[in-house]
Structure 1
Amino acid sequence: MADKLSIADRSALMSRIKAKNTRPEIAVRRALFASGFRFRIHSKDLPGKPDIVLKKFKCAIFVHGCFWHGHDCRKGTTLPKSNKEKWIAKLNSNKQRDQINEESLRRQGWHVFIIWECELTDSICRLQQFLERQRACASAKIVSTTFAAD
């Protein structure tokens, strides 16, 4: 089936798709902030510019749209009807870039979380549980490293 929009209209529509501050990303940030976690967004000094960074816990979070990052779900496996070769190449390069960035962060000692748009609620819960454990470990280390006066 041919596209119902003209090439110019389709281009205008696609240009309005946001790369930063998307609804899923904002939902994750709100949940983290409500749980007492403070973070930075779109950190340019890390590979892939993670959407959310908690430096205290060395945690980099990417909030991925299923289509754009090729998730194995209904949204992620659906391709546009026109220009299929271009889209396949684009989405494959996105997946390859994501993998390179994730591996680079892990080699630097970072915990990397990928939150998929279709799994938002479950992923936020798992992320909060992980961060709570990290917070508890950090608190325990602080208590155990206090020294008695001589």
Structure 2
Amino acid sequence: MKKIANVIALIFIAVSVYAFIEAGTFPPGSNGALGPGFFPRVLAVLVIFLSVLELLNSRKQSAEGDQEVTLFKKDNIRVWITVAAVIAYVWTLKYGGFIIMTPVYLIGMFLYYKVKNILVLILVPVGVTAALYTIFTILLKVQLPAGILF
């Protein structure tokens, strides 16, 4: 188990170094503003830092503390359904658009995880969608997927 964790940490470090270098090729910001490469570089440094911590932590763990991890167990079915829902959500964004698909996805997830409060079931997805739309479209001037309907 320790070997797998080390390999995964090294892969994350390598991908993050590549992302950091690629983000350096982005154009600089104007008028003293941070450029588009700033946030990816911050994320890359954070991933490198956490991966190094994982490498150091795995060296300290004793062999008796290792547990067998099985990905495809009946107990993990909810995780895999959630992963499939995220993939389906991202795939359908280009067809339905952000404004339609985000509340549909969130309501579907709330129903799957048995949220019973009708106010939470409706207001949170609509509020999250409105907040994200406002932040990205109006404040950051980022175009979100409109879908084929718009």
User: Would you say same fold, with TM above 0.5?
Assistant: no
Report which of the two has the higher share of strand: 1
Greater helix proportion: 2
TM-score, normalised relative to structure 1: 0.25
